[in-house]
Amino acid sequence: MVAPVDLERLNQLTDGDPDFTRELASAFSDSGHQQLAEIEKALEASDRAAIARAAHKLKGASANLYAEALTELALRLETEAPTGDIEQLRQVSAALRQEFARTNEFLSGIQPL
């Protein structure tokens, strides 16, 4: 299975600084949890614009850390939010949550170069 984060590119971004890497990972985790909560709330309310906004924010944060699979799922949710079937959006959201958890687990265990 492919790693959830392109570690080589992340280390280039942080210049291999372990403290900076941990700081970025922590900020990503905090904001990601917030965005996932917003997505869940928006799904419950069938608020398509709010789903798209939260997915867009998560997409940007994921791209900044080179979490490509998570970025793609967030893009899919953002793109499908305006017209997609709500049940299908829930399924994409569930996959997004799983990938977010996998990404967080990976980030918590990395040893920067």
pTM: 0.93
Quote the tokens at residue 33. 């949890």
Segment 54-97, tens digit of pLDDT: 999 999 999 999 999 999 999 999 999 999 999 999 999 999 99
Domain of residue 41, residue span: 20-109
- Cα gap 46→65, rounded to integer Å: 29
Total residues belonging to the chain: 113
What's the domain count of the chain?
Answer: 1
Q: What is the pLDDT of residue 113?
A: 45
**Domain with 96 in it: what CATH number?**
1.20.120.160
- Cα gap 27→11, rounded to integer Å: 16
**Domain contains 80:** yes
